[in-house]
C-alpha cells in the first residue's frame, strides 16, 4: 500500500456538495492499495501510522503520535498514488483491482480504528 500522510488542523471530504467525512486535528491520509497487497499489509501500515511520532511536544520536538494528541484520521482512497508517469499518459496497472482496492481501503481504515485512532472516510472510487 502507498500512503501520503498530512498533518492537519482539520480536513473534510465533500461529494456533490455534501460533507461525507471530516476530522479535526490529526491526519489526512491518502491511501492506495497496490497489486499484491493483502489485509496483513494494511494492518501493518495502520499500526505504523498510529505510532508515528510526528506531532510536536511541549518542547517543539516531533515526539507525539496521533493517539498521544487525541487526534483522528480522515482516510481517503487515492488510486492515482499508483501512477506510472514514465510517458505522457499515466498508467495504473500497479494499483490493485477496484474490488480488492476497496476492500483493502476499508480494512486499513478499520485497522487504524482498532489501533485507537478515530477514523472518518471518504467514498471509494476505483477509477
Task: Report pLDDT digits (tens) over 25-80.
Answer: 999 999 999 999 999 999 999 999 999 999 999 999 999 999 999 999 999 998 88
Residue 126 lies in a domain: no
Question: Is residue 112 situated within a structural domain?
Answer: yes
- Cα separation of 37 and 21, whole Å? 25
Record the pTM. Answer: 0.91
Catalytic (active site) residue 80: yes
How many of the other CB atoms lie within 10 Å of CB of 93? 7
Is there a catalytic annotation at residue 78?
yes
Whether 59 is a known active-site residue: answer no
Catalytic member of 80, 92, 121, 124: 80
Catalytic residue among 55, 78, 108, 121: 78
127 assigned to some structural domain: no
Q: Residue 28: which domain range? A: 2-121
Instruction: Please give the sequence-ordered ranges of beta strands (E in DSSP) within 9-90, or none if there are none.
Output: 11-15, 18-23, 26-32, 55-56, 62-64, 72-77
Give me the catalytic one of 55, 79, 108, 121: 79
Q: How many domains, in total, are found in the chain?
A: 1
Amino acid at each position: 500500500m502507498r500512503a501520503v500522510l498530512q498533518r492537519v488542523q482539520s480536513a473534510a471530504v465533500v461529494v456533490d456538495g455534501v460533507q461525507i467525512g471530516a476530522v479535526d486535528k490529526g491526519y489526512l491520509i491518502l491511501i492506495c492499495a497496490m497489486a499484491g497487497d493483502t489485509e496483513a499489509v494494511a494492518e501493518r501500515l495502520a499500526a505504523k501510522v498510529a505510532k508515528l511520532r510526528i506531532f510536536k511536544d511541549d518542547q517543539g520536538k516531533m515526539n507525539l503520535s496521533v493517539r498521544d494528541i487525541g487526534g483522528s484520521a480522515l482516510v481517503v482512497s487515492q488510486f492515482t498514488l499508483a501512477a506510472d508517469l514514465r510517458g505522457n499518459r499515466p498508467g495504473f496497472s500497479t494499483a490493485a483491482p477496484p474490488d480488492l482496492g476497496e476492500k483493502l481501503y476499508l480494512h486499513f481504515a478499520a485497522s487504524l480504528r482498532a489501533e485507537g485512532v478515530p477514523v472518518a472516510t471518504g467514498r471509494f472510487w476505483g477509477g
